[in-house]
């Protein structure tokens, strides 16, 4: 199948996967422009030799669980990988189906009414789900455990107050205050100040990923996978201005290796279509409602047998239940 035939097949897959959108289709040239950008970026990095070995990216909830102890021994959070080198020829541009789905999600987000936000308010989200950890027992054997990822969290929109997190019925103030925020701990005001140009926004995210996961770091994840993980975290755990959410979707469409999974199930059993990226034998999926293209949640599925389980095992699954802006910490939307 030549590239033109593959393009037509992918567009056909996208049209079969999604119902007709209740908002305008992407401009005819947008998908082609995005794909041209992918090819230029891959060619540039191939010439400059900037592709690096890749391992599983770490999420913020990975870091929180990294100090956990089970059965009197240390717990290894799900962040391992083989470190197999990735060559430029192995990284394909995002598929036409994923670009189309992300553009529809962006259009839906941009059409959402802007919420008026004032100092003293909080962003709120509620999630349910689980993640997996490997625990070393007292006799030196490894045991796979499931950790609860359900929580509610309230973050000051301007970073002036401590973040309140409610997990397993227990309230805790997270150490410190967000301040102005950053990509790993953003406030609403931080997100509101991000660029809305997808290329500029992705560069901002990729530069941050490069600084922490590029040359000279202990990580071999690489900026592309970490950028995908970062955007997924921002979409799942943060209330953001509609234009920023739209820009995040369009920035994700610029990341090589992104594709579509026609049927995915979130942590509460809701079926949807997913934008996904495969890395080191694991596929990270962002799940969307097929009718509204609303973000439902995220999961990670093993594509091959490993210490974390058999191929097909869902090792992480988190569903977004509620989100919004509230006046007080502890208040629901």
152-172: per-residue pLDDT in tens? 999 999 999 999 999 999 999
- Greater confidence (201 vs 146) lies with 201
Buried b (16+ CB within 10 A) or exposed e, 49-67: eebbebbbbbbebbeebee
Distance from CA of residue 234 to its chain's centroid? 7
Token reading at 177:
């205050």
Reported as a pLDDT band with limits 50, 70 and 90, residue 214 is low
* Residue 149: closest CA among 66, 65, 80: 65
Q: CA-to-CA distance for 6 and 95, rounded, in angstroms? A: 10
pTM of the model: 0.74
Helix or strand or coil: residue 142? Answer: strand
User: Which secondary structure element, helix H or strand E, spans residue 264, and what is its range?
Assistant: strand 258-265
Which region, left, alpha or beta, applies to residue 110 given φ > 0 means left and ψ of -120 to 50 means alpha?
alpha
Q: What's the DSSP call for residue 306?
A: B
* Percent of the chain topping pLDDT 70: 70
Q: What's the DSSP call for residue 175?
A: S
- Tell me the domain boundaries of the chain: 3-51+91-130+149-326
The pLDDT of residue 265 is above 60: yes
Q: CA-to-CA distance for 264 and 257, rounded, in angstroms? A: 18
């Amino acid at each position: 199948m030549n590239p033109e035939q593959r393009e037509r097949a992918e567009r056909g897959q996208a049209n079969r996967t999604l119902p007709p959108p209740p908002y305008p289709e992407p401009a005819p040239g947008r998908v082609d422009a995005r794909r041209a950008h992918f090819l230029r970026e891959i060619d540039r990095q191939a010439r400059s030799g900037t592709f690096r070995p890749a391992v599983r990216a770490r999420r913020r909830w990975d870091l929180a669980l990294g100090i956990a102890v089970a059965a009197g021994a240390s717990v290894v959070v799900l962040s391992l990988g083989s470190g197999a080198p990735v060559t430029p020829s192995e990284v394909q541009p995002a598929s036409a189906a994923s670009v189309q789905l992300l553009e529809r999600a962006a259009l839906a987000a941009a059409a959402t009414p802007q919420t008026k936000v004032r100092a003293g308010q909080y962003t709120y989200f509620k999630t349910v789900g689980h993640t997996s950890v490997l625990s070393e027992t007292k006799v030196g054997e490894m045991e796979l455990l499931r950790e609860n990822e359900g929580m509610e969290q309230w973050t000051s929109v301007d970073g002036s107050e401590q973040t309140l997190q409610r997990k397993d019925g227990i309230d805790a103030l997270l150490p410190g205050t967000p301040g102005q925020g950053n990509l790993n701990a953003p406030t609403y005001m931080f997100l509101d100040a991000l660029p809305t140009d997808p290329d500029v926004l992705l560069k901002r995210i990729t530069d941050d990923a490069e600084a922490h996961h590029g040359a000279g770091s202990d990580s071999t994840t690489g900026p592309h996978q970490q950028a995908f993980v970062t955007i997924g975290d921002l979409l799942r755990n943060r209330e953001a201005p509609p234009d920023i959410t739209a820009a995040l979707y369009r920035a994700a469409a610029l990341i090589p290796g992104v594709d579509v999974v026609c049927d995915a199930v979130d942590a509460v059993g809701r079926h949807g279509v997913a934008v996904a990226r495969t890395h080191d034998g694991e596929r990270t999926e962002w799940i969307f409602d097929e009718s509204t293209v609303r973000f439902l949640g995220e999961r990670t599925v093993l594509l091959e047998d490993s210490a974390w389980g058999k191929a097909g095992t869902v090792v992480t699954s988190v569903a977004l239940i509620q989100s919004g802006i509230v006046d007080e910490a502890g208040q629901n939307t």
